[in-house]
Amino acid sequence: MNFFEWLLTRRKTLATMSVAELRAQEMLLENERDRAHARIAKLGEQKQKIVADGAKERTPELRNALAQQFDLLHTEQMMLARQLTTRTKEHITVARLRMLRENTGRAGAGSRKAMIGDAELALIERLIENERVGAEVYQERLDAILRAGLEADESGVVVSPAAGELLRVWKDMDNGLIADTRQATDEAERRVRERLAEEG
């Protein structure tokens, strides 16, 4: 059962989960991720052994059997690698949200319990399911989504993804990172195109 199936089954949303529930789910995902990683490493060792055995074998029939076994192990390894990427992204999500909830709790913030709504959750789910989005890129996109949620919470205004990218471009202009409005327009459009491509 993946993280979002778990949420549906438990009739919970990220906005209603407590810090303790987020931490418990974080540990479960961490264990699943570690098991997948260990299995991938084990499959790699088995593949190496098959390659070594085949190099010493001269019988065509046995080599064919070893090659087929190698193919099965390779297929399982690729499937587990995709699962590992998904679990890693889910783990990053829960860990980030737990830290946010802890920080906002200590700061006494709080018109919104978790700075994330249904729209953000749907976007996060699409990014997790998109196999073209690796864990590193996903972490950047997740941070941007959560940052936008915090900014919206502070201002009381909910902005679209495109508007959010433009607001960030303006901040870069304020900080001297972007020189002029033409460059700012090109940069805003580029970021929006990349975001749409990542969301698939």
DSSP characters over 5-54: HHHHHHT--TTT--HHHHHHHHHHHHHHHHHHHHHHHHHHHHHHHHHHHH
pLDDT at 113 over 60: no
The gap from C-alpha 17 to its chain's centroid, in whole angstroms, comes to 19
Average pLDDT (14-40) is 87
Q: Rounded to whole angstroms, how far apart are CA atoms 44 and 40?
A: 6
pLDDT interval class at 109 (50, 70, 90):
very low
pLDDT interval class at 112 (50, 70, 90):
very low
Q: Which residue has the higher pLDDT, 104 or 33?
A: 33
Give the model's pLDDT for residue 158: 45
Summarize pLDDT for 123-158 with one digit per residue, the tens: 888 888 888 888 888 888 888 877 766 555 444 444
Q: Rounded to whole angstroms, how far apart are CA atoms 200 and 183?
A: 26
Map residue 55 onto helix, strand or coil: helix
Tokens 């737990």 belong to residue: 98
pLDDT at 110 over 70: no
pLDDT at 79 over 80: yes
Q: Which of 129-133, 171-175, 191-195 has the highest mean pLDDT?
A: 129-133
Average pLDDT (110-127) is 67
29: amino acid identity, one letter:
L
The mean of the pLDDT values for the chain is 78
Map residue 57 onto helix, strand or coil: coil
